[in-house]
Structure 1
């Protein structure tokens, strides 16, 4: 994994990619806040994601961290010079507290060792799986949502 994210993965470029390829991201008002080498952060406003209780709809609280993990793995492919597809294989979310405003999902980028193993499998088998985790922080600073997912990349 590189120490810096290439210009093609700057927040604005990644946001454009997501809005073009996954229209739901535009409808949800998702913005890419950070695409650094250690952390990827997405953000969405309450208004297009609100439920009848005035809090963020549970589906949106599952979607944003799913997309944070998806984007983290997709940017990894781009950084590795590979043109491929990423799909979610399995996901789980634990809802700990309601979210009442603009919300963010953070996904830690995988370690260099995990990344190397992933790329070895991908080059060998043209397909590789990676488990990723994301958190939606709550107002208290504690996680409002803890997400884990298994993603597959195919080249």
Structure 2
């Protein structure tokens, strides 16, 4: 349970499954492993091909102006990328730690309603290159792009570089 989490104590990994992950079970584990996830307003996760999409409610991320708070939106984009890599690793049968190495974002328009975020590799060959690097060195890096839309309006573009650490 999230309330019993302590600093410096890793949360147990979600057991690997055969076949595709149950995204609802992954989201439940995520909210326990990272307590702030429950406050991010994620209402649904979907995956199609190399794209992971979240549906999000705006209410938990409102700022004083009644629009999306940039810090919350940035945190969501960073976490979405982390989830992309974690789920990709799980699909490869790998249980390795992922960290964000760097991230940037550009805001284009205010977020004024519930929204969705999409995450996919910046380079279509990124997953293949990551798989090769993991096979050769046991660690690797991939760059992912995240986009946030309110309806059809692009409000935020973000990019993150995620590192897969060697197995412990």
Instruction: Structure 2: state its 5+ residue gaps.
Output: 1-17
| Residue of structure 2 equivalent to 1:107 | 119
Distance 1:69 1:96, change over 3 A: same
Q: How many residues align?
A: 149
Structure number with greater CO (CA < 8 Å, separation at least 6) is 1
Instruction: Structure 1: state its 5+ residue gaps.
Output: none
What's the CA shift for 1:20? Answer: 1.6
| Residue of structure 2 equivalent to 1:125 | 137
Question: TM-score scaled by structure 2?
Answer: 0.80
Q: Whose helix fraction is larger, Structure 1's or Structure 2's? A: 1
1:84 maps onto 2:96 in alignment:
yes
> Max radius of gyration: which structure?
2
Are the aligned partners of 1:72 and 1:109 in contact in 2 as well (CA < 8 Å)?
Answer: no
What's the CA shift for 1:152? Answer: 0.3
Displaced runs of 4 or more, over 4 A = 109-112
